[in-house]
Amino acid sequence: MSRVTFFEVEVLDHKTKAQLCFLDKVEPHATIAEIKCLLHKCYPKWYPARQALKLDPKGKTLKDDEILENLPVGTTATMYFKDLGPQLGWTMVFLAEYMGPLFIYLLFYFRLPYIYNPKYTFTSSPYPVVPLACLCHSLHYIKRLIETIFVHRFSHSTMPLRSMMKNCLYYWGFAAWLAYYINHPLYTPPTYGNQQIHYALILFLLCEAGNFSINLALNNIKSDGDRSGRIPYPTRNPFTWLFFFVSCPNYTYQVGTWIGFTIMTQCVPVALFTLVGFVQMTIWARGRHNMYLRQFKDYPSLRMAIIPLFL
């Protein structure tokens, strides 16, 4: 008969090094997630999603699925705790981030009072491109909301409150700024008229369809693959053939959508929003691309991160 050696876990504050909690009789095969639950019992206000446990105060945070006995500690483990602050579920976050622009744009489209000169309140624009732009903008965010609810599966379950406030400010602020100009009584329609609007609309719709196809494809991989993920490959859907050339075609299509919208409305704030979005998405795409390269030895060498053959 073998005796099971229980572990003892001492949890210290990562800044003050004061002892917060001493857990004895911890099972050797307990996961970090279970230890977080035990800590939560001592401190009810620190629910597990808000806890970060580390072996070294300046080191990396331990993952929830790591097992106690596999860690480089003796039978008495010392861990450092950091409060990550209030957390929100990803779904809530995305809903807030996307509903904002959807409604804010409409406030400007219908020219609610106090926004423009009073004589223009509740009037509408004589140019057909203005309601078209409203339709496209709304369609874009409705699609994103649908994807958030039905399609996306998130790897982390929460996000810090501060990040969410920052993101909401960014999305809502930009939406207000570009909606203000597109729906302004003194708006000037595109220089090349209907031709410019039509081609831009086609680009917009194609890229929206493309982005949707990629999100579906990525979701299918996550649902039947294991947690560490597989290399995404093109499927029979022609939109997914962009996977031959880039690691993150969802971001490529997203940039394409906004370029289409910029050309359609010929509005500098939209161009700036597209630019900032492009920079941010490139950073994310490069990160994901490098992760794939590290993880998979046989990763296709033709693929770039976000722009085929270029970036």
Partner 1 sequence: MASGEEDGALDEKENNNKKRTKSALATAWLTFYNITMTAGWLVLAVAMAKFYIQRGTHRGLYRSISKTLKFFQTFALLEVRMVRTSVIVTGVQVSSRIFMVWFVTNSIKQIQNEESVVLFLVVWTVTEITRYSFYTFSLINHLPFFIKWARYNMFIVMYPLGVAGELMTIYAALPYVQKSGMFSLRLPNKYNVSFDYYIFLIIVMLSYIPLFPQLYFHMLRQRRRVLHGEVIVEKDD
Supply 42's token pair: 């001592």
| Window of 14-22, 157-165, 261-269, 289-297 that interacts with partner 1 by CB under 8 A | 261-269
Based on CB atoms, which residue is closest to partner 1, 92 or 165? 165
Residues 6+ apart with CB under 8 A from 275: none
7, containing H or E segment: strand 7-13
- Contact map string, positions 157 to 186, toward partner 1, x by CB under 8 A: ------------------------xx-x-x
SS (H, E, C) 126-177: CCCHHHHHHHHHHHHHHHHHHHHHHHCCCCCCEEEHHHHHHHHHHHHHHHHH
Choice from 70, 123, 188, 194 touching partner 1 (CB under 8 A): 188
**Whole-angstrom distance, CA of residue 273 vs CA of residue 269:** 6
Q: Are strands 76-83 and 87-89 parallel, antiparallel or unpaired?
A: unpaired
Residue 251 CB, nearest approach to partner 1 (Å): 26
Give the per-residue contact string, 138-157, with partner 1 (x = CB under 8 A; - = no).
--------------------
CB of 184 to partner 1, least distance (A): 6
260 touches partner 1 (CB under 8 A): no
Other beta carbons less than 10 A from residue 101's beta carbon: 23
Site for partner 1 in 51-90 (CB under 8 A): none
Q: Which of residues 267-296 bind partner 1 (CB under 8 A)?
A: 267-269
* Region binding partner 1 by CB under 8 A among candidate stretches 14-22, 107-115, 151-159, 187-195: 187-195
* Distances 218 to 8, 97, 181, 206, 210 between C-alpha atoms, Å: 41, 22, 36, 18, 12
Shortest separation between residue 305's beta carbon and partner 1, angstroms: 25
